[in-house]
Chain A
Amino acid sequence: MSNETFEGMHPLTEALRDLDEAAVKCLVEREVEAGTPVMEVVGHLNGGMVAVGRLFAEDEYFISQLIYSAEIFRGAMARLEPLLAGSDPSEGGGTVIIGTVKGDIHDIGKNIVVTLLQGAGFDVVDAGVNVPAERFVEIVRETGARVVGLSALLNFTYPEMKKVVDTFVEAGLRGEVHIIVGGSPVNEQVREYAGADSYAEDAVSGVDVCREIYG
């Protein structure tokens, strides 16, 4: 779905990129009233979230702006959801499972990633916090997701990340999933120890990995 025209970015995409909450609200309302197909409106919003992610990657935006964009996006989606009736806003972007590993109940980082993924058109299964290794495997079995994201804030969870990876091996599913680790105490050394596939330095690079996987 294209968000850019010869005239440039769609005003709704631009308003979300610029974090203009009032304008986003007003433009969504206008599109709804004009009878624009809902999936097209969602597409414009997705474009805005992608643009926000790009500005973050370029150090123009900081995490506070990611959080605010996520809230604006959530507000707009809440308005559109009743109109979606049967259509899938993820539009086949692929399924991503994400959760904070067992032993850790922190969710700020995970929640930012969840909304950015939704904004990028992925179908996200948020497994929540304190998620046991077996639960990640179960959800993969249920959904057929090809990407699993493990989040943590506390550094004593490294063995738990490894356990999740090992549990996928034991379940015979390791080859089916790409496992990403992220969070404040995580780095390349931790990825290697856990045996995960990717380390995401921040929320946006995590979304980028998902894009690569699902092409």
Chain B
Amino acid sequence: MTEETSELYERRLGRYQAAIALEPTDRVPIAPGSNYFAEVYSGNTNQETLYDPAKWLEAEMAFVRAFPETDVLRNNRLWGPQLDAIGLRTYRLPGRDLPPRDQFQFVEREYMMADEYDALIADPLAFMFECWLPRVLGEYETPGSARSYLAFLKSGMAQGMFAQIMRNRSVQLQEVCGMPQPMTGAFVAPFDVLADTMRGLTGAIMDCFRQPDAVVAACDRLVEEMANFALSTADPLKRYPIFVPTHKACFLSPDQFERFYWPSFKKVLEILIGAGYTVRAYLEGDWGPHWHHMLELPKGTVVCDIDNQGDIFKAKKDIGHHQCLAGGIQDSEFILGTPESIRRRVRELCEVVGDGGGFIVGGGCNIPYTTKPENYRAMIDAVLEYGVCAADVSPRPKATSGAVTVAAFDYPKRATPWERKREELGGSVPGDEDLIRGPWEQLEAMAYAWLWQWTM
């Protein structure tokens, strides 16, 4: 990495981290989380983004050259071949199921039945293998078949390949473009596990009315699983926030949110924050009735992305003194608006929401695919004009703390702990136990995390 690129990387990351921590920095960061526009700006199709990592990377590098003032580029993504290997049913993909330029789409179904809460709560792993995975993974539809074994094998291999792709991508973006990531690692709130990929929204809502205690117990049971998955996929250096899209909170009444959504979600957040991480939460839909709960978490630990339906000016009043806010520009403005209307909006955002720091400019949880380039440019120019806060500050990344420690449970989770394996080996091994134990535990932890990714 050249000195110049290294300096650029440090400034961008420092600026981003300062905004998250509500500390003064030189200007408002241009750090949208899901920059879909960047993926297709070069003319790539959405199929190429999902199936051709080299083209995806080239596309984003072209984007950085065109809009070098952008501070971060996204890293959380799907890789088509990995989904094909296992036959994941929760997504329809461009090029495979949809026209190549269409957006990937989530398919919500009832993959867990209303009477299966006890099974989930009693033993999540057994529930996964016996009930849920055969329904949600097409290639595992007939457990025990040759095809099902091969599917797991292929998917495990694909996981390794995907990890390599993402590592390469992150290194290239950092070393060639000086570009940090907006987030690394992900999870969903326990209630969203139920309402997205298990029961579906309607099922989960019915359960809140018909069997509320089961819903609460299941959410509690999923706390460790989600915290484990988040930490397993997070940046080991803790530079970047962990990502959580909150899908279904916006459908709940405040009472329901407080009973079903928040307690388990808060526990996961506390575990991650306790382990030294920050979190970037997409508050999807209108979180106005719920976002005051973010005051219960330590200051400057959760970036709250305000969606199109949310009022970011109200969010500023309610929680902006305690957590960083991101967003402020409607999807429709990027797609249908004019540079002048974007400029007016960004000015207002910088002056009001940016006042005192803790503001990241962007769209409502995304920059749309069909954004007009001149509108994205207008956003940048307006930030440079109105978003300069402390020009004398030279942003620098924060020192990151050491190993991940979790008090709440034995992290990382494994299906077969080393102790059991050692017993099976006769209670001891004649050679160096650590040489065997280390890789055993690492592979166990990776396989365990692999299982839970299908709930995302």
A residues bordering B, Cβ < 8 Å? 19, 21, 61-65, 67-68, 71, 103-106, 108, 111, 154-156, 158-159, 184-187, 189-190, 193
Q: Are B103 and A156 neighbours in the complex by a CB distance under 8 Å?
A: yes
Contact assessment for B209 and A68 in the assembled complex, using a CB-CB cutoff below 8 Å: yes
Interface residue ranges of B358-374 to A (CB < 8 Å): 366, 368-370
Contact B335 A155 (CB under 8 A): yes
Closest to B204 in A: A64
Residues in B whose Cβ lies below 8 Å from that of A155: 331-332, 335, 366, 368-370
| Residues of chain B with a CB closer than 8 A to A189's CB | 330, 332-333, 336-337
- A64 to B256, Cβ gap below 8 A? yes
Shortest CB distance B111–A (Å): 16
Q: Which of B142-150, B245-253, B411-419 contacts A (4 or more CB under 8 A)?
A: B245-253
B332: contacting residue among A68, A103, A105, A158, CB under 8 A: A158
A-B contact count (CB 8 A): 80
A64 near B208 (CB under 8 angstroms)? yes
Measured CB to CB, the nearest residue on chain B to A103 is: B102
A159 to B107, CA, bound (A): 23
Q: Smallest CB-CB separation from B289: which chain A residue?
A: A62
Q: Which of A21, A103, A104, A185 contacts B209 (CB 8 A)?
A: A21
By beta carbon, the residue of chain B nearest A65 is B253
Using a CB–CB distance below 8 Å, which chain B residues touch chain A?
Answer: 92, 102-103, 105-108, 201-202, 205-206, 208-210, 250-254, 256, 285, 289, 308-309, 330-333, 335-337, 366, 368-370
Q: Are A108 and B108 in contact (CB under 8 A)?
A: yes
Are the C-beta atoms of A67 and B202 separated by less than 8 Å?
yes
A193 to B309, CA, bound (A): 19
Taking the closest CB of chain A, its distance from the CB of B334, in whole angstroms, is 8
The listed residue (B202, B252, B331) touching A185 by CB distance below 8 A is: B331
Assembled-state Cα–Cα distance A65/B205 (Å): 8
Q: Which residues of A contact B337 (CB under 8 A)?
A: 189
Q: Are A158 and B308 in contact (CB under 8 A)?
A: no
Question: Which residues of chain B have C-beta atoms less than 8 A from A67's C-beta?
Answer: 201-202, 205-206, 251
Q: What are 13 A-B pairs with beta-carbon distances under 8 A? A: A21-B209, A61-B253, A62-B251, A62-B253, A62-B289, A63-B251, A67-B201, A71-B206, A104-B105, A106-B106, A155-B369, A156-B335, A189-B330
Kindly state the separation between the CA atoms of A19 and B253 in the bound complex, as whole angstroms.
Answer: 14
Known: A71-B206, A108-B108, A155-B332. A185 touches B308 (CB 8 A): yes
A184 and B105 CA atoms in complex are apart in Å by 15
Closest 5 CB pairs of A and B: A62-B253, A155-B331, A63-B251, A189-B332, A67-B205
Question: Known: A108-B108, A156-B103. Is A190-B336 also a contact (CB below 8 A)?
Answer: yes
Cα separation A156 to B331 with both chains bound (whole Å): 9
| CB-based contact B209/A19 at 8 Å | yes
Tell me the bound Cα distance from A26 to B202 in angstroms: 23
Q: Are A184 and B309 in contact (CB under 8 A)?
A: yes
Give B331's nearest chain A residue, CB to CB.
Answer: A155
CB <8 Å contact, A105 and B105:
yes
A199 to chain B, nearest CB (A): 11
Known contacts A67-B201, A68-B205; decide if A105 and B309 are in contact (CB<8 Å). Answer: no
Chain B residue, CB-CB nearest to A194: B336
Check if B335 sits within 8 Å of A158, measured CB to CB.
yes
| Residues of B contacting A65 in the complex (Cβ-Cβ under 8 angstroms) | 253
Contacts of A158 in B (CB 8 A): 332, 335-336, 370
A64 touches B333 (CB 8 A): no
Residues of the B chain whose Cβ atoms lie less than 8 Å from the Cβ of A68: 205-206, 209
Q: Is the CB of A64 within 8 A of B335?
A: no
Question: Measured between C-beta atoms, what is the minimum distance from A25 to chain B in Å?
Answer: 12
The residue in chain B whose Cβ has the minimal distance to the Cβ of A72 is: B209
> Which residues of the partner chain B approach A71 to less than 8 Å between Cβ atoms?
202, 206
Complex Cα gap A21–B256 (Å): 18
- Complex-state Cα separation, A94 to B292, whole angstroms: 43
Q: Which residue of A lies closest to B101 (CB)?
A: A156
Residues of A within 8 A of B309 (CB): 184
Contact residues in B for A186 (Cβ distance below 8 Å)? 332
B253 CB contacts on chain A under 8 angstroms: 61-62, 64-65
CA distance in complex: A129, B16 (Å): 40
Q: Taking the nearest CB of chain B, how far is it from the CB of A156, in angstroms?
A: 5
Assess the B368–A64 pair: CB atoms within 8 A: no
- Given the complex, which residues of A lie within 8 Å of B105, measured CB to CB? 104-106, 154
> What is the CA–CA distance of A104 and B102 in the complex, to the nearest angstrom?
9
User: Which of B252, B366, B370 interacts with A62 by CB under 8 Å?
Assistant: B252
Alpha-carbon gap, A64 to B251, bound state (A): 5
B343 to A: closest C-beta gap in Å: 16
Given A187-B330, A189-B337: A64 in contact with B252 (beta carbons within 8 A): yes
Q: From residue B311, how far is it (CB to closest CB) to chain A in Å? A: 13
7 additional A-B pairs beyond A21-B209, A158-B332, A158-B370, beta carbons within 8 Å, are: A61-B253, A62-B253, A64-B256, A67-B202, A155-B331, A155-B335, A193-B336
Bound CA span A193–B334, Å: 13
Most buried by B among A63, A64, A154: A64
Contact check, B308 vs A156: say whether CB atoms are below 8 A apart.
no
Question: What residue of chain A has the Cβ atom nearest to residue B107's Cβ?
Answer: A105
